[in-house]
Chains A and B, each alone.
Chain A
Amino acid sequence: DAGVTQSPTHLIKTRGQHVTLRCSPISGHKSVSWYQQVLGQGPQFIFQYYEKEERGRGNFPDRFSARQFPNYSSELNVNALLLGDSALYLCASSRFSGTRTDTQYFGPGTRLTVL
């Protein structure tokens, strides 16, 4: 079975631009979560979507938005990019939302560099 896929793998943008990152979950998984990981820190939660509805939002500014499509794939959008947005963005899929024992399966991430 295919795992979680993310595109693109790497991305270079300049300050002020916007970016769209994409994620396809494991087949049968209805929940997608987004995390930001900067060097030296653990992944920080950005959003969770389940059945196309936002189920959780971390402490990130409104420049960050996301959505989930009928096929459960998801996009993360970041507007007005800042240098501090440079990070690895991870997508994770799980079967359900809100079940604390449900394993989240991660994709390989998108490395975003903002110049």
Chain B
Amino acid sequence: ILNVEQSPQSLHVQEGDSTNFTCSFPSSNFYALHWYRWETAKSPEALFVMTLNGDEKKKGRISATLNTKEGYSYLYIKGSQPEDSATYLCAFPDPNTGNQFYFGTGTSLTVIP
């Protein structure tokens, strides 16, 4: 079992604030890291697949960075909006088989209007 940790567990921010949270994963034998957004009563939605050390990916106001040497990825949201309220999950594919994804417990973001 691989350890994937996310912090903080939950976050409340005001509309317009920028925020960021962390996903930590095993730094050895890295292949990829996936980020998902999961809104209440909906399906988890894929955001990014991070593969290269130093990678930075962007989707609108959301961006993610990757440090494979130290085993962490940051997700940033610029100018948070109420519609950004969701749980953000990271998932680390099993480096040996690739079949099993290990998920963190998620960061629950609430954006207060």
CB distance from A105 to the nearest CB of B (A): 7
| B28 touches A (CB below 8 Å) | no
| Interface contact tally, CB-CB below 8 A | 69
Task: Mark out the residues of chain A between 50 and 76 whose CB falls within 8 Å of any chain B CB in the assembled complex.
Answer: 55-56, 58-59
- Interface flags for A87-115 (1: CB within 8 Å of B; 0: not) read 00010000001111101111111000000
Q: Which of B1, B43, B95, B102 has the most CB of A within 10 A?
A: B43
Known: A3-B43, A108-B42, A109-B43. A101 touches B99 (CB 8 A): no
CB distance from B108 to the nearest CB of A (A): 10
- B42:A56 contact, CB within 8 angstroms: no
- Which of B4, B34, B43 is close to A103, meaning CB atoms less than 8 Å apart? B34
Nearest residue (CB) in B for A101 is: B32
Partner-contacting stretch, out of B11-19, B44-52, B70-78: B44-52
- A104:B46 contact, CB within 8 angstroms: yes
- A97:B99 contact, CB within 8 angstroms: yes
Nearest residue (CB) in B for A31 is: B99
In the bound complex, residues from chain A placing their C-beta under 8 Å from that of B98 are 97-100
In the bound complex, residues from chain B placing their C-beta under 8 Å from that of A59 are 1
- B43:A108 contact, CB within 8 angstroms: yes
A48 to B98, CA, bound (A): 10
Nearest residue (CB) in A for B5 is: A42
Footprint of A on B, CB under 8 Å?
1, 4, 6, 31-32, 34, 36, 41-46, 49, 51, 89, 91, 93-95, 97-106
14 inter-chain pairs at a CB distance below 8 angstroms, sorted by A residue, are A33-B101, A35-B101, A42-B106, A55-B97, A56-B99, A97-B99, A99-B98, A100-B31, A100-B93, A100-B94, A104-B91, A105-B46, A106-B43, A108-B42
Footprint of B on A, CB under 8 Å?
3-4, 33, 35, 40-45, 48, 55-56, 58-59, 90, 97-101, 103-109
A-B contacts besides A42-B89, A100-B93, 7 pairs, CB < 8 Å: A42-B4, A43-B89, A48-B99, A59-B1, A90-B44, A98-B97, A100-B98
